[in-house]
Amino acid sequence: MSAGTLPRQPGPTPHGGASRPMRDSLVIARRNLVRKMRIPEAAVFGLVQPIMFVLLFSYVFGGSIAVGGSTDPSVYRQFLMAGIFAQTVTFATASACAGIADDMRTGLIDRFISLPMARGAVLTGRTLADLVQAALTLVVLAIVAIIVGWRFHNGLLRALMGFSLLLLLGYAFSWIGTLIGLSVRTPEAATSGGLLWLFPLTFISNTFVPTDNMPVVLRVIAEWNPFSATVQAARQLFGNLPPGYPVPAAWPLQHPVLASLVCSVGIILVFRALAVRKYRSATV
């Protein structure tokens, strides 16, 4: 420690029992939502990419990709949308990376440390705010999907279950983004780090094409990819699997709802613990 530098002093220890961390998290979540509402252009730009993916893959590539033996563009649109939904909620990870990195750089986290709140509440509140934003984005994207011809066929309850699994995956990935944001020095590096691993994860999967025509190694990776399990679960719940579509023999795709739940909850437990630990070590 250099001369004249005082150690960072933690705030008073919070009281209030087990409910206090949740209340603190909700306060931070509200703060982040208000902040997001003051930058509406960020939300608009965040919607442009998934809408472009919907239009490009539906109308440019739709007639060239066979699903269940059919090259009918309308069949492909039904198949495609669950993948676009999943990609959209997980790509929000990049903004989570940049946001937490910016808070660390500007010293906002130092102000939170001086307050009598649970340490993990700062991170939990931010990820909850990201979850709310992802839910609103999904609503808008679902409306666009309906306009281009997408429908769910198994009833509203099962459709809501499908969207819930998608949001749970997005929430899990936001914890990965939080850990990355705490591990880099600048928001620019956080944005790059948040997207670098997402592209292969989403493309080596069943997001845009069936896995049966992939090379053997890539097919195995795609079939055991947690992203694929969630996309398959959403398609199953939406009723978007076309007749004759061959379901791979891999366990996650044979039991996609269970596999999606297990993977998402596991990611949350592991990466939340790592992120909170990193946060505490970075703010001591």
Percent of the chain with pLDDT over 70: 88
Give the model's pLDDT for residue 184.
83
Give the model's pLDDT for residue 102.
79
E strands, 96-201, are: none
pLDDT tens-digit series, residues 46-71? 778 788 888 887 787 776 777 877 77
Give the model's pLDDT for residue 267.
96
CB contact burial 51-89 (16+ within 10 A = b; e otherwise): bebbeebbeeebeebebeebeebbbbbbbbbbbbbbbbb
One-letter amino acid for residue 233 of the chain: A
Q: Which of 73, 54, 51, 48 lies closest to 62, judged by CA?
A: 73
Cα separations (Å) of 84 from 50, 51, 123? Answer: 7, 9, 27
Residues of the chain with pLDDT under 70: 1-18, 63, 107-110, 112-116, 119, 282-284
Give the model's pLDDT for residue 47.
77
CB atoms within 10 A of CB 189: 16
Contact 165, 264 (CB under 8 A): yes
Give the model's pLDDT for residue 235.
95
Q: CA 82, CA 74: separation in Å to the nearest integer?
A: 14
